[in-house]
């Protein structure tokens, strides 16, 4: 009876040892299988939650937005050059003085029997670009009342020998203009004559340069 129990005990020990060996072999095969798996599958097999958390952290750090713009619709343009129309602008320019007409010397005379006036014809082309139009002259000597008309309109009348330049009204000007300088008659002294000696009679205007304006 005792011998039987010993045999049974030895048999049980042998069975347990075989089972342990089998488990060790299976565990070794599983370990080898895991080792030869691709890294991603191995991480998912060993711990999907850990791998997911790590992947999310890497994605958050790797996709950080540095610049965000909304350019609108981007279309392909075949032309290599594009012409942009710019609205017209006016560039400020300094006006330039210009002599429209000049008479170096002249004599104005009036008597009972003769009359000599100074007639100055001048053009005011492109009148809108003219400003500060002035008539000036130097009186050397003279006697009588001096009269000046612009296009038939009297603009000066005086017997003073000190002549001050006259600014001509643009409203009285045209493209072609006439200034007439005359002197009054001597009155009842028919044997006398009134006269003026004049130098540097001229019409000057400031011209606005439009060459830089578009």
Task: Name the superfamily (CATH) of residues 96-207.
Answer: Galactose-binding domain-like (2.60.120.260)
CA distance 191 to 15: 172
Query: CA angle, 119 as apex, 162 and 196 as ends, to 5°?
Result: 35
Q: Give the CA-trace dihedral at 13, 17, 22, 25, to 10 degrees.
A: 170
| HEC sequence for the chain | CHHHHHHHHHHHHHHHHHHHHHHHHHHHHHHHHHHCCCHHHHHHHHHHHHHHHHHHHHHHHHCCCCCCCCCCCCCCCCCCCCCCCCCCCCCCCCCEEEEEEEEEEEEEEEECCCEECEEEEEECCCHHHEEEEEEEEEEEEECCCEEEEECCEEEEEECCCCCCCEECCHHHCCCEEEEEEEECCCCCCCCCEEEEEEEEEEEEEEECCCCCCC
CA 187 to each of CA 116, 183, 194: distance values in angstroms, whole numbers, following the listed order: 16, 12, 10
Q: What is the pLDDT along the chain (214 residues), one digit of tens a residue?
A: 444 444 545 555 556 667 778 887 888 788 777 777 777 776 776 665 454 555 455 444 556 777 777 777 767 666 677 777 777 666 666 788 999 999 999 999 999 999 999 999 999 988 989 999 999 999 999 999 999 999 999 999 999 999 999 999 999 999 999 999 999 998 888 888 999 999 999 999 999 877 655 4
Residue 2 is predicted with a pLDDT of 40
Residue 103 is predicted with a pLDDT of 96
Report yes or no on whether pTM surpasses 0.85: no
CB 206 within 8 A of CB 95: yes
Any idea where the domains of the chain sit in the sequence?
2-60, 96-207
CB 203 within 8 A of CB 135: yes
132: left (phi over 0), alpha (psi -120 to 50) or beta: left
CA distance 26 to 99: 118
Q: Which of 114, 115, 112 is nearest to 190 (CA)?
A: 112
CA distance 131 to 97: 9
Crossing angle (nearest 10°) for helices 2-35 and 39-62: 40
Residue 51 is predicted with a pLDDT of 44
């Amino acid at each position: 009876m005792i011998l039987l129990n010993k045999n049974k005990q030895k048999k049980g020990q042998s069975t347990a040892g075989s089972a342990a060996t089998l488990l060790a072999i299976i565990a070794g095969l599983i370990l080898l299988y895991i080792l030869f798996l691709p890294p991603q599958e191995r991480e998912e097999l060993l711990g999907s939650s850990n791998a997911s958390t790590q992947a999310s952290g890497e994605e958050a750090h790797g996709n950080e937005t540095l610049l965000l713009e909304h350019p609108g619709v981007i279309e392909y343009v075949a032309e290599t050059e594009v012409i942009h129309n710019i609205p017209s602008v006016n560039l400020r320019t300094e006006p330039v003085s210009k002599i429209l007409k000049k008479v170096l010397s002249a004599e104005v005379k009036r008597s009972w029997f003769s009359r000599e006036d100074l007639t100055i014809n001048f053009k005011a082309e492109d009148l809108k670009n003219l400003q500060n139009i002035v008539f000036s002259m130097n009186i050397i000597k003279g006697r009588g009342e001096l009269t000046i008309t612009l296009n038939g309109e009297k603009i000066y009348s005086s017997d003073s020998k000190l002549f001050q330049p006259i600014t001509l009204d643009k409203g009285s000007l045209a493209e072609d203009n006439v200034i007439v300088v005359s002197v009054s008659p001597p009155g009842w002294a028919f044997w006398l004559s009134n006269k003026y000696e004049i130098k540097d009679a001229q019409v000057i205007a400031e011209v606005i340069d439009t060459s830089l304006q578009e």
